[in-house]
Chain A
Amino acid sequence: DAGVTQSPTHLIKTRGQQVTLRCSPKSGHDTVSWYQQALGQGPQFIFQYYEEEERQRGNFPDRFSGHQFPNYSSELNVNALLLGDSALYLCASSHSRSYSEQFFGPGTRLTVL
């Protein structure tokens, strides 16, 4: 079992560009959540996907959007990048029948210049 995987590991973009981050959940999991972790802070919830739909959303602007595919993998898209979007983006997967366990991926480090 590969656990939760994310790609790419690191990414450097410039202001105004768009970026797509990818996540594959742990085998058997059907729910994917995305978090933004700024340096020195705890992760902040962006949104959650289940059955290919956004089910819950945190306090993030519409520039942040996502998608879930039939195989449960997910993408996080960020448009019109700002310097403040520089952070570690974490993907977490869980099963809809039990949210007591949530497994995290290694994250994607996004740097916006």
Chain B
Amino acid sequence: AQTVTQSQPEMSVQEAETVTLSCTYDTSESDYYLFWYKQPPSRQMILVIRQEAYKQQNATENRFSVNFQKAAKSFSLKISDSQLGDAAMYFCAYRTVNTNAGKSTFGDGTTLTVKP
């Protein structure tokens, strides 16, 4: 079974600075998807960024980028130029590419605080 571990329960960053959230996972599959989701106090789970395991190039979405290390099973999220609106719970998630399995496995999250 796949597992996802987020070792940082809480992180803090100064506005306009850069912060990196860590995630490791365990799987025996060779192809899969990895995601970072943001969940603000409003509870809505919002997709931040997605990485397909067969792609070696790290995904980037504006101020958000990932460092995907497949051999190490590591998938960290870097937030550049942090903004007050980035404050939220961030979840790392794994999903198989098997079309019969839409199940996502989530870590327990990292609470990000952004200080003005």
Contacts and interface: CB of A to CB of B under 8 A. Distances in A.
Interface of A: 31, 33, 35, 40-45, 48, 50, 55-56, 58, 88, 90, 92, 94, 96-97, 99-107, 109
B95 interface: yes
Interface stretch (B13-21, B73-81, B104-112): B104-112
Interface residues of B, number: 26
Interface in B49-77: 50, 52
Nearest to B108: A42
A100 B97 CA distance: 8
B103 A100 contact: no
B43 A99 contact: no
B43 A31 contact: no
Given A99-B95, A100-B50, A100-B52, A45 B104 contact: yes
A107 B43 contact: yes
A90 B106 CA distance: 13
A94 B102 contact: yes
Interface of B: 4, 33, 37, 42-47, 50, 52, 91, 93, 95, 97, 99-109
Q: Is the interface of A mostly helix, strand, loop or mixed?
A: strand
Contact of B102 (A43, A88, A102, A107): A102
Contacts, number: 72
B100 A56 contact: yes
Contacts of A88: 43
Contact of B109 (A41, A44, A97, A100): A41
B95 A106 contact: no
Contacts of A103: 47
A99 B45 contact: no
B33 A100 contact: yes
Nearest to B37: A104
A43 B106 contact: yes
Contacts of B37: 104
